[in-house]
Amino acid sequence: MSNYVLTNCNIIDGINSGLKEDMTMLVNDGKIEQIGKVSEVKVPKGYTNLDIGGKYVMPGLINAHAHLFGSGKPMKAIGGGKSQEKVVSMLRTKIGRKILDGMVKEHVLTALNSGVTTIRAVGDLFYSDVKLRNMIDSGKLNGPRLLAAGLAISVTGGHGAGSFAHVADSPWEARKVVRKNVYEQTDLIKICVTGGVTDSRVVGQAGRLAMTLEEISAVCEEAHKVGLLVAAHAESTEGVRIALLGGVDTIEHGADFDEEIIELFLNNPKSLRGYSSLIPTLQAAVAICELNPEDTLMSSVNVENAKIVLNGMVKGLVKATESGILTGLGTDSSCPFVTQYNTWRELQYVTKYAGLSSEAAIHNATQKNAKILGIDKLTGTLEVGKASDLIVTKENPLTDLRALSRIDMVMTGKTLINNPQVKKIDKVDELLNTI
């Protein structure tokens, strides 16, 4: 049975401010059929009654920047080098591929049970996320909606090179890799314009330009001609500028912005839709900055780079919000202390560090993320005709975002999960709770 009536709901629809009390919602074959006051909605026969009992119903969370190969438990291999090479080599084997497939499946279900009904995965190993997406789309696995970038594109010595990214050192090599990903049927293209924090070896490397404008432009032209959006890892002001000039559609992470950059976000003629958006990811940098390196397994260089990047991301998010740039939300899950089930913490961090209201954070994680990902006609808000991607919480998340850490029910399309269970990493959560 996939026809439900949710009664006695307090609805946060993701469109309007505040909430609607004493509401009923009809769900028919995975889509929202009707929303109205309890006294106004006539329930047809054949619907399973779900009495929400005055709890809070809102759109399912969307994690617009995730990696599925890790749990969030710190590992030396995350930092690159020989440890990472050994792990990647093992995963290349037949047995390793099975282990990897099992891990990404476990992690995507963990995310779903924590209230994440849509995931945009922005870098995998051996197209494991694409394979998983195909399982979900074919009905072989009841999982969240999954958009998969496959392997990202980096340069020799660049962020993710040798693990979750192809290496391309010229515009034509970059075009070739885009064509490879298109052949593998990825949903988007991900590029690494600058270095990154976790595999940095010197202070400043995280924001150092890696790709050239010509390489970025080639990627965007190749992707846009087949209708794919391009997401760009960029962790410095110049990295963001060059990425936008090349025509990328989303900036991942971000940095401080100047007026030229703000204008490029708002009016970007080389992007697919004429504008670009921002997906900040504070969680990984916050953990590296605030926790002891002995716990995160990050070096002093990683810590200094995380401080630089976090400061830039917060400044960029504040300016983007003030300037009307479309901003979403992602977690960078798989990084140290960024689990698949702690998406709620990202909402908490954008309120704590960037001053967003709880409602603004929720809208970034639902409605705005859906628009950025190009799926706003399908999901992101609770509206008639959209997919029944929703979560139920006992407490009101508008007044306390920690309510999102305790999910009572998850529904995504035809899948209903009552009392969802998440296997948590106690040591990780204990330390995160000190921040």
Which pLDDT band, with edges at 50, 70 and 90, does 1 fall under?
low
pLDDT of residue 77: 64
Residue 324 structural domain = 61-373
Q: Which of 358, 308, 298 is nearest to 329 (CA)?
A: 358
pLDDT in tens, 33-71: 999 999 999 988 999 999 999 999 999 999 999 999 999
Cα three-residue angle 22-26-31, rounded to 5 degrees? 130
Q: Is 431 part of a structural domain of the chain?
A: no
Q: Is the pLDDT higher at 164 or at 83?
A: 164
Is 435 inside any structural domain? no
Strand partners, 333: 66, 335
47 with 192, same domain: the answer is no
Cα–Cα dist 256/322, whole Å: 13
Residue 402's CATH number:
2.30.40.10
Confidence of residue 413 (pLDDT cuts 50, 70, 90): confident
Confirm whether 409 is domain-assigned: yes
Mean pLDDT of the chain: 96
**Considering only 32-46, 71-85, 411-425, which range has the smallest mean pLDDT?**
71-85
Do 322 and 223 share a domain, yes or no?
yes
| Interval 248-258: pLDDT, tens | 999 999 999 99
Residues 235 and 91 in one domain: yes
pLDDT digits (tens, 9 = 90+) for 105-141: 999 999 999 999 999 999 999 999 999 999 999 999 9
User: Under a CB-based contact definition with an 8 Å cutoff, are residues 197 and 250 in contact?
Assistant: no
R_g over Cα of the chain: 21
Angle subtended at Cα 406 by Cα 100 and Cα 26, rounded to the nearest 5 degrees = 95
What pLDDT was estimated at residue 83?
A: 75
Question: Using 50, 70 and 90 to split pLDDT, how confident is the model at 85?
Answer: confident
Examine residue 432 and state whether it is found in any structural domain, yes or no: no
How far apart are the C-alpha atoms of 391 and 133, rounded to whole Å? 21
Q: Tell me the pLDDT tens digit for each residue of 374-390.
A: 999 999 999 999 999 99
Share of the chain above pLDDT 90, in %: 94
Note the pLDDT of residue 141.
96
**In terms of domains, do 326 and 415 share one?**
no
**69 lies in some domain:** yes
Q: Find out whether 159 and 195 touch, Cβ atoms under 8 Å.
A: yes
Does residue 379 fall inside a structural domain?
no
Specify whether 54 is located in the same domain as 65: no
Q: Is the pLDDT of residue 92 over 80?
A: yes
- Residue 153 CA to residue 166 CA, distance in Å, equals 5
CATH code assigned at 166: 3.20.20.140
Q: Sign of torsion, CA 413 414 419 421?
A: negative
CA distance 357 to 322: 13
| Dist CA 425 CA 422 (whole Å) | 10
pTM of the model: 0.97
CA separation, residue 371 to residues 176, 277, 329, 376, 378 (Å): 29, 10, 12, 5, 10
pLDDT band (50, 70, 90) for residue 81: confident
Q: Do 74 and 209 have their domain in common?
A: yes
The total number of structural domains that make up the chain: 2
Residue 80 has a pLDDT of: 72
Question: Are 283 and 418 part of one and the same domain?
Answer: no
In a domain, 260, yes or no: yes
The pLDDT, as a whole number, for residue 136 is: 97
Q: Are 49 and 73 within one domain?
A: no
Are residues 19 and 158 both part of a single domain?
no
So what's the pLDDT on residue 257?
A: 97
* Pair 284, 398 in one domain: no
Residue 434 within a domain: no
Percent of the chain with pLDDT over 70: 99
Q: Which residues pair with 277 in a beta bridge?
A: 250
Burial of 30 (0-12, 13-18, 19+ CB in 10 A): middle
Tell me the per-residue pLDDT of 258-313, one tens digit each, with 9 for 90 and over: 999 999 999 999 999 999 999 999 999 999 999 999 999 999 999 999 999 999 99
